[in-house]
């Protein structure tokens, strides 16, 4: 059942290994990258509580010692205080340039630890062991690392590719339903942005995936990672095509900032709502048919996901404030925001040609629904 996707980036190339039971084999898998029999692992308290002993045994079976730092779980961790704590801990551990730092957790841990590895002694290698669905299909691959700033999402960071990604699909079994579905927001994004056949496959197989069928999980993670690997190999630092992976994210990041990076809105939930809004905007601009946003929303709803601004608990700012929050987006060029829109499901494209009043109107209507 095991699959390997190769991310082709010249001397920064690496494998993403996907399948059940990889934690138990972690020692033998990581050994080729080590210069000494020791790793430092950064995780979060939830993941450490559930899976750390399996990881420790996996390393010990290859004679590898492991030191561990467990950070608080959740998006609020992805900021300066826990970042500087992590860098200082890594220095206290006397991590050498030749060592491997292991990020063991969801996207929050992967992004923060990857960025710590990027700046530690001007760059040490790291291995991603993603434990959430979101991290397995998206954040562990492609080398975008970083933390949030008060001014906006992921505004401080670096491109730093991992040396290896081990996505053990067994660990997905301990995710809460909410965290699993948040990860599904990024899975379905791949279908919407570039593979109508995958979207259709998800309409049929999404329920089996959510129910825990292992072959379906391996297939969904592998197809997602393959698509991301292909895009990242073409455009590592987002000069063009990579922005397609940002479908739904301009809306999502503004909503995450507006909800204070709290558990009112998880990243993947914001991606699902953002994709629904991007398709709505595309239809209103006459780019795709009105059936496309309806089909997107119908599938998200069938999976039990958030699709509307009204699904977010508590008050939201008005549409003008949300548009102002979008101004910090990394896709702004010469003061003009680039959007990812779609000509249909699986046919996304990048454009700067979006009237601001159309964005405002979509948000105003969405806030009133
Ligand atoms: N770098 C990228 O390319 C990229 C891509 C997508 C998302 N992201 C970032 O990823 C973050 C979201 O990632 P996430 O959804 O994994 O969030 P997360 O890391 O906060 O994990 C979600 C929750 O699931 C828990 N968890 C993780 N694995 C578990 C397991 N196996 N069993 C039980 N609980 C588990 C965590 O403790 C946490 O409470 C955001 O900050 C987002 O910006 C980055
Ligand atoms: O890898 C990418 O490129 C992505 O855009 C993937 C997104 O799912 C992810 O949320 C990413 O962190 C967003 O990047 P940003 O540059 O818009 O912060
Ligand atoms: Zn994302």
344 is known to lie in a ligand binding site: no
Q: Is 267 a catalytic residue?
A: yes
pLDDT at res. 346: 98
Integer Cα distance of 4 and 273 in angstroms: 31
Angle, CA of 358, 360 and 320, to the nearest 5°: 160
pLDDT at res. 229: 98
The torsion region of residue 368 among left (phi > 0), alpha (psi -120 to 50) and beta comes to alpha
pLDDT at res. 270: 98
Please state, as a whole number, how many other Cβ atoms lie within 10 Å of the Cβ of residue 127: 25
Which ligand is closest to the CA of 107, given by its number?
1
How large is the ipTM? 0.99
Closest CA to 356 of 320, 328, 317, 308: 320
Q: How far is CA 248 from the centre of its chain?
A: 13
Q: Is 88 a catalytic residue?
A: no
Q: Choosing from 78, 228, 295, 297, which is the catalytic residue? A: 228
236 lines ligand 2 (CB under 6 A): no
Site of tokens 């048919």: 289
Q: Choosing from 75, 219, 236, 238, which is the catalytic residue? A: 238
Q: Choosing from 160, 189, 267, 299, which is the catalytic residue? A: 267
Which ligand is closest to the CA of 246, given by its number?
2
| CA 26 to each of CA 23, 55, 84, 175, 368: distance values in angstroms, whole numbers, following the listed order | 5, 7, 27, 21, 50
Ligand 2 centre and the CA of 143: distance in Å? 10
Q: Is 186 a catalytic residue?
A: yes
Q: Is 246 a catalytic residue?
A: yes
Angle, CA of 70, 104 and 127, to the nearest 5°: 130
230 is known to lie in a ligand binding site: no
Q: Is 306 a catalytic residue?
A: no
Ligand 1 centre and the CA of 130: distance in Å? 8
232 lines ligand 1 (CB under 6 A): no
174 lines ligand 1 (CB under 6 A): yes
Residues in the chain: 369
Which ligand is closest to the CA of 190, given by its number?
2
Q: Is 122 a catalytic residue?
A: yes
Q: Which residues pair with 7 in a beta bridge?
A: 14
2 is known to lie in a ligand binding site: no
Tokens describing residue 226: 């393959």
224 is known to lie in a ligand binding site: no
Q: Please identify, by atom number, the ligand 2 atom nearest to the C-alpha of residue 331.
A: 17
Integer Cα distance of 254 and 328 in angstroms: 9
- At 367, phi and psi to the nearest 5? -70, -30
Residues 6+ apart with CB under 8 A from 294: none
Tokens describing residue 105: 């957790």
Series of mean pLDDT values for 10-residue runs along the chain (369 residues): 97 98 98 98 98 98 98 97 98 97 98 98 98 98 97 96 98 98 98 98 98 97 98 97 97 96 97 98 98 98 97 97 93 90 98 94 96
Rounded to the nearest 10 degrees, the angle between the axes of helix 249-258 and helix 319-326 is: 110
β-strand 152-159 against 144-149: which pairing, if any?
antiparallel
306 is known to lie in a ligand binding site: no
Q: Is 144 a catalytic residue?
A: yes
> What would the 3-class secondary structure string for the chain be?
CCEEEEECCHHHCEEEEEECCCHHHHHHHHHHHCCCCEEEEEEEHHHHHHHHHHHHHHHHCCCCEEEEEEECCCHHHCCHHHHHHHHHHHHHCCCCCCCEEEEEECHHHHHHHHHHHHHHHHCCEEEEEECCHHHHHHHCCCCEEEEEECCEEEEEEEECCCCEEEEEHHHHHHCCHHHHHHHHHHHHHHHHHHCHHHHHHHHHHHHHHHHCCHHHHHHHHHHHHHHHHHHHHHCCCCCCHHHHHHCCHHHHHHHHHHCCCCCCCCHHHHHHHHHHHHHHHHHHCCCCCCHHHHHHHHHHHHCCCCCCHHHCCCCCCCHHHHHHHHCCCCCEECCEECEEEECCCCCEEEECCCCHHHHHHHHHHHHHC
162 lines ligand 1 (CB under 6 A): no
Residue from 45, 135, 245, 329 whose mutation best tests the ligand 1 pocket (most atoms within 8 A of CB): 135
pLDDT at res. 369: 86
Tokens describing residue 308: 């509307």
């Amino acid at each position: 059942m095991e699959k390997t996707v190769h991310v082709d980036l010249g001397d920064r190339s690496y494998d993403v290994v996907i399948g059940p039971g990889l934690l138990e084999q972690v020692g033998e898998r990581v050994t080729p990258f080590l210069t000494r029999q020791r790793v430092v692992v950064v995780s979060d308290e939830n993941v450490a509580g559930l899976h750390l002993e399996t990881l420790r045994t996996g390393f010990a079976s290859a004679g590898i010692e492991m030191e561990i730092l467990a950070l608080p779980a959740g998006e609020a961790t992805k900021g300066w205080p826990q970042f500087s704590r992590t860098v200082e801990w890594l220095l206290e551990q006397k991590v050498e340039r030749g060592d491997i730092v292991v990020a063991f957790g969801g996207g929050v841990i992967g992004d923060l630890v990857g960025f710590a590895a990027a700046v530690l002694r001007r760059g040490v290698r790291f291995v991603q062991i993603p434990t959430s669905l979101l991290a397995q299909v998206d954040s562990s691959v492609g080398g975008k690392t970083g933390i949030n700033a008060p001014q906006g999402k992921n505004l401080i960071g670096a491109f730093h590719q991992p040396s290896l990604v081990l996505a053990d699909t067994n660990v997905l079994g301990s995710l809460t339903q909410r965290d699993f579905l948040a990860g599904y927001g990024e899975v379905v994004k791949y279908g919407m942005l570039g593979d109508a056949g995958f979207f259709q496959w998800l309409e049929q197989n999404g329920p089996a995936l959510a129910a825990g069928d292992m072959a379906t999980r391996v297939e969904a993670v592998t197809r997602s990672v393959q698509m991301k690997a292909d895009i990242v190999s073409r455009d590592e630092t987002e000069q063009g095509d990579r922005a397609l992976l940002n479908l739904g994210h301009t809306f999502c990041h503004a909503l995450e900032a507006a909800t204070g990076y709290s558990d009112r809105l998880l990243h993947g939930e914001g991606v699902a709502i953002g994709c629904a809004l991007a398709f709505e905007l595309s239809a209103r601009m006459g780019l795709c048919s009105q059936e496309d946003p309806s089909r997107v929303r119908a599938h998200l709803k069938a999976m039990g996901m958030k699709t509307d601004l009204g699904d977010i608990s508590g008050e939201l700012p008005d549409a003008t404030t949300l548009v102002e929050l979008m101004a910090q987006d990394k896709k702004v060029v010469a003061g003009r925001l680039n959007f990812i829109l779609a000509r249909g499901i699986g046919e996304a494209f990048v454009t700067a040609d979006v009237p601001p009043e159309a964005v405002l109107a979509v948000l105003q209507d969405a806030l009133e629904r």
